[in-house]
Amino acid sequence: MTADYDWVAETMAKTVPWVGTAGIEFLELEAERVVCALRDTPEQRNHVGGPHAAVMFGLAETASGAVTLAAFTPLLERAVPLVTSSEIHYEKLALGDLTTEAVLGGDVEEVTAELDEGGRPEFPVHCTIRDSAGNTTGRMTVRWTLRPARS
């Protein structure tokens, strides 16, 4: 992890209790890219031995939230990040530990300008879910908004 963004992992663990309950680890944290991991446990498997779809979704959504925090750090005092929608595609049975790479799909300057103009910007975060063999097992796009903080 880059030391500049260690606070993102700490903030996620403190403000989203599920992150700690699930055991999500933050492996790489950058301004517009995050990699998270989740160890394979029998309690989180589905009927065919892979991680449950909800687990895959939760890992990717968490990674997308971490990207949002990292990318828009300067705006967090005046805006609240919220998910507006998500779309996930399960491509292959995942086996073993999971990783998710989340990459910001919007332009930071454009999002900031829209917020500055009084708007409520939306932007995508694109996530790739991989299993322990490195196979892409799912893809997810999470759309986020920055809701201006209420005075």
Q: Output the six-digit token pair for 17.
A: 């209790």
Going by pLDDT thresholds of 50, 70 and 90, the confidence category of residue 1 is very low
Taking residues 65-71, report their average pLDDT. 97
Domains belonging to the chain, first-starting first, are 3-148 (3.10.129.10)
Taking residues 22-45, report their average pLDDT. 94
Q: 122-142 pLDDT, tens per residue?
A: 999 999 999 999 999 999 999
Distances (CA, A) of 45 to 96, 120, 138: 10, 38, 16
Torsion of CA 111, 81, 106, 10, to 10 degrees: 120
> Do residues 1 and 25 make contact, with C-beta atoms less than 8 angstroms apart?
no
